[in-house]
């Protein structure tokens, strides 16, 4: 029996029999280590008495790579991200402080556990319905001298790196994180000023030049390693929402929580701090934040159906919401267009000076059941607006939700949460479970942003969390940044199509039509008036064709703040949405839809209104479109063969 030699690699022990020749054994071990995606090795010591420990994790050959380092002197952890040897995120502090222990320093390494996460799931909406997940995960366990424990869980995919903290029972409340992201000072940055309703506009800076202040935790940076979108996933009422705190002159963005103290009664897994990384097309197409989130908690999803919605708030305001006759007229128009939903906004249960729910007879007084019956007979579903304060207590939810379900309402637009503090997140947990139980689709306004919520609760069709069409201060640059920032992580209820708001929006009519494709939303709420659609028959006919669920999404051309051209596929047809900021130009768009010939129909701005062009191009050709200042286009492409003259059905 040969003597055994132990080769210790982190917490992995290999036994090599001396019966095998030494050179063969060493060669085999080296080859095994070189092929491994998950590695751990001592960092190069700067001093003879320093032996920092370092662990590396990557999702593949051209994927981003995380490097986690434990400083031997201070016991502090840092995490850096690179891609193909180029900087994505510089070494950045990692750690958390609880009422029982400071788990950001004086740590010692205990052990490591690796696994591969592989999943397939299907969504009801989003960039593509079928998803396949493959991520490498490493769990690094640490302890302080007093025995306080911290596990750092890191995941790596082809398009992202993410980490979270796992704390055992008895760790106590969380007092804050020392987590931060260090960017090169000259990195390009697109940041949205933090607001509780997440409706800050995105503006360009460099990482260091951004003014001192708080920013949305969704922040896009460009370094020599490519584009990186900072994001969050798996946020629930067990924790607190995050924002980024920055001091001008540095490239550091610190994670600050909405609560000074996050209450925890037992084991705790924090949300994921995610970095969606790659070229701009990879970041735009990524579903990384959904992939990190827990699987769906809704078993039967057959009642969840995305679709186009005629939204009447910008069309008629509160007066329309108070009028059954007006709402029936909107239902008639939605039915004529074969749009599956009509949304009744604020006013339908409002009387001057009081809320109808204070009246014991409010249910019998409401005309909503009549509207729902009227709409159902015409093939239109009704979605109703409701204030969060009217769903704030168990008694209110028990009054509202079963009643709306009994009436046949298809969904609720819940407004004015305006907080990501732990108590409000706990309310989200409750309302998500209860709306699913009552078969009500959900559109959150004045809200958090998706953060994986649409995978776990697929009845959430869309969320606002954006400076959308209602705003009168939006810029064309902001509109062309949204596809690369806010809309990357999930459905965005921007409410496009408000053609009647001439002078109140920064873009052209063709660009406004293109927004319905450039921006993804499970319920695409079209904000125009019937009169505005009738005055633009090309846009109206285009909207008639648009689905709200997509088989695939591709970025054809883009630069944040300047241009964004997205292609979304439904079946064999690709819908195109192009938006631009700046001077008029002839846009040149690579038609990267696949081989063969394509019939391409585009809608652009002409001298006297919208104009449609048709041409046959080969896959890979350049599509040229004349674009006016701050303009854009909408398009539709389908496989061409002799005799095909239109892509419309």
Give the model's pLDDT for residue 125: 95
The answer as to whether 20 is a domain residue is yes
Looking at the fold, whether 467 and 497 belong to one and the same domain comes out as yes
Q: Quick check: is 415 catalytic? A: yes
The answer as to whether 272 is a domain residue is yes
Of 470, 544, 559, 613, the catalytic one is 470
Looking at the fold, whether 286 and 325 belong to one and the same domain comes out as no
Of 151, 290, 345, 415, the catalytic one is 415
Give the model's pLDDT for residue 19: 36
Regions of the chain where pLDDT drops below 70: 1-50, 350-365
Residue where a domain terminates, one of 292, 315, 346: 292
Give the model's pLDDT for residue 363: 59
The answer as to whether 535 is a domain residue is yes
**143 bridge partner residues:** 108, 149
Residues 6+ apart with CB under 8 A from 547: 306, 307, 570
C-alpha 125/C-alpha 74 separation (Å) is 47
The answer as to whether 620 is a domain residue is no
Residue where a domain terminates, one of 230, 260, 292: 292
Give the model's pLDDT for residue 280: 98
Looking at the fold, whether 237 and 332 belong to one and the same domain comes out as no
Give the model's pLDDT for residue 350: 63
Residue where a domain terminates, one of 266, 292, 318: 292
Sheet holding 102-103, edge to edge: 102-103, 96-98, 174-177
Looking at the fold, whether 49 and 72 belong to one and the same domain comes out as yes
Looking at the fold, whether 2 and 100 belong to one and the same domain comes out as no
The answer as to whether 302 is a domain residue is no
Domain holding 140, by residue range, is 37-292
The conformation of residue 46, written as its DSSP 8-state character, comes to S
Looking at the fold, whether 281 and 321 belong to one and the same domain comes out as no
Residue 142 is encoded by which pair of tokens?
């640490």
Give the model's pLDDT for residue 504: 94
* Cβ–Cβ < 8 Å for 396, 427: no
* Cβ–Cβ < 8 Å for 79, 70: no
Looking at the fold, whether 23 and 81 belong to one and the same domain comes out as no
C-alpha 63/C-alpha 288 separation (Å) is 13
Residue 405 is encoded by which pair of tokens?
């379900």
Domain count, the chain: 3
Task: Note the pLDDT tens digit of each residue in 17-54.
Answer: 333 343 444 344 344 434 344 444 433 333 445 678 99
Q: Which is nearest to 68 in space by CA: 86, 80, 85, 82?
A: 80
Looking at the fold, whether 267 and 343 belong to one and the same domain comes out as no
Looking at the fold, whether 23 and 46 belong to one and the same domain comes out as no
Q: Quick check: is 470 catalytic? A: yes
Burial 410-423 (b: 16+ CB within 10 A, else e): bbbbbbebbbbbbe
The answer as to whether 42 is a domain residue is yes
Looking at the fold, whether 46 and 32 belong to one and the same domain comes out as no
Return the number of other C-beta atoms located less than 10 Å from residue 285's C-beta.
Answer: 18
The answer as to whether 597 is a domain residue is no
User: CATH number, domain at 514?
Assistant: 3.20.20.70
In whole angstroms, how far apart are CA 627 and each of 496, 507, 541?
Answer: 19, 11, 20
The answer as to whether 587 is a domain residue is no
In whole angstroms, how far apart are CA 263 and each of 171, 177, 421?
Answer: 11, 14, 11
C-alpha 536/C-alpha 529 separation (Å) is 11
Looking at the fold, whether 472 and 483 belong to one and the same domain comes out as yes
Looking at the fold, whether 6 and 17 belong to one and the same domain comes out as yes
Residues 6+ apart with CB under 8 A from 361: none
Exposure of 313 in the CB half-sphere (CA atoms within 13 A): 16
* Cβ–Cβ < 8 Å for 339, 309: yes
User: CATH number, domain at 275?
Assistant: 2.70.98.10
Give the model's pLDDT for residue 46: 39
Count the residues in the chain.
Answer: 649
């Amino acid at each position: 029996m040969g003597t055994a030699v132990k080769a210790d690699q982190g917490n992995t022990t290999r036994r090599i029999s001396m019966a095998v020749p030494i050179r063969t054994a060493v060669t085999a071990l080296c080859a095994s280590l070189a092929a491994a995606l998950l590695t751990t090795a001592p960092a190069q010591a700067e001093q003879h008495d320093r032996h920092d420990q370092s662990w590396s994790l990557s999702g593949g050959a051209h994927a981003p790579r995380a490097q986690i380092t434990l400083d031997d002197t201070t016991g502090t952890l840092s995490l850096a991200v690179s891609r193909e040897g180029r900087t994505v995120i510089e070494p950045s502090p990692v750690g958390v402080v609880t009422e029982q222990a400071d788990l950001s320093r004086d740590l010692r390494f205990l052990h490591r556990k690796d696994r591969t996460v592989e999943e397939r799931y299907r969504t009801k909406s989003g960039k593509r319905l079928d998803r396949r997940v493959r991520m490498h995960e490493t769990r690094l366990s640490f302890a302080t001298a007093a025995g306080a424990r911290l596990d750092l869980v890191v995941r790596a995919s082809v398009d992202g790196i993410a980490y979270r903290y796992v704390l055992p029972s008895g760790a106590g409340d969380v007092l804050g994180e020392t987590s931060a992201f260090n960017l090169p000072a000259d990195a390009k940055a697109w940041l949205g000023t933090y607001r509780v309703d997440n409706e800050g506009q995105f503006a360009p800076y460099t990482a260091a030049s951004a003014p001192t202040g708080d920013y949305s935790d969704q922040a896009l940076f460009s370094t020599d390693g490519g584009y990186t979108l900072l994001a969050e996933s798996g946020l629930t009422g067990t924790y607190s929402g995050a924002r980024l705190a920055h001091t001008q002159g540095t490239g550091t963005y610190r994670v600050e929580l909405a609560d000074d103290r996050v209450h925890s009664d037992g084991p705790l897994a924090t949300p994921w701090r995610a970095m969606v990384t790659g070229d701009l097309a990879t970041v735009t197409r990524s579903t990384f934040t959904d992939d990190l989130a827990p699987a769906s908690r809704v078993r039967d999803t057959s009642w969840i159906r995305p679709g186009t919605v005629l939204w009447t708030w910008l069309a008629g305001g509160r007066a329309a919401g108070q009028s059954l006759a007006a709402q029936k007229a909107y239902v008639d128009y939605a039915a004529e267009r074969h749009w599956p939903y009509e949304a009744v906004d604020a006013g339908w249960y409002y009387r001057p000076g009081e809320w109808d729910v204070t009246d014991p007879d409010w249910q019998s007084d409401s005309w909503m059941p009549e509207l729902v019956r009227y709409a159902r007979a015409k093939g239109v579903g009704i979605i109703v607006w409701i204030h969060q304060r009217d769903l704030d207590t168990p008694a209110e939810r028990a009054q509202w939700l079963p009643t709306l379900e009994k009436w046949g309402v298809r969904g609720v637009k819940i407004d004015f949460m305006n907080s990501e503090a732990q108590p409000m997140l706990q309310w989200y947990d409750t309302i998500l479970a209860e709306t699913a139980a009552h078969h009500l689709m959900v559109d959150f306004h004045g809200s958090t942003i998706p953060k994986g919520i649409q995978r776990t609760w697929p009845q959430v069709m869309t969320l606002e969390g954006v400076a959308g069409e209602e705003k009168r201060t939006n810029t064309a640059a902001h509109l062309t940044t949204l596809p690369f920032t806010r809309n990357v992580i999930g459905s965005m209820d921007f409410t496009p199509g408000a053609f009647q708001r001439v002078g109140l929006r920064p873009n052209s009519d063709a660009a406004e039509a293109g927004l319905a494709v450039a921006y993804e939303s499970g319920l695409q709420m079209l904000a125009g008036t019937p009169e505005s659609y009738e005055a633009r028959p090309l846009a109206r006919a285009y909207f008639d064709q648009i689905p709200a669920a997509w088989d695939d999404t591709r970025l054809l051309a883009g630069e944040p703040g300047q241009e964004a051209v997205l292609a979304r596929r439904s079946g064999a047809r690709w819908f195109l949405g192009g938006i631009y900021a700046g001077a008029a130009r002839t846009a040149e768009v690579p038609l990267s839809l696949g081989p063969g010939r394509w019939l391409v129909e585009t809608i652009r701005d002409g001298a006297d209104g919208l104009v449609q062009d048709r041409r046959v191009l080969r896959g890979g050709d350049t599509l040229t479109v004349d674009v006016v200042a701050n303009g854009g286009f909408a398009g539709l492409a389908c496989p061409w063969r002799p005799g095909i003259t239109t892509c419309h059905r």
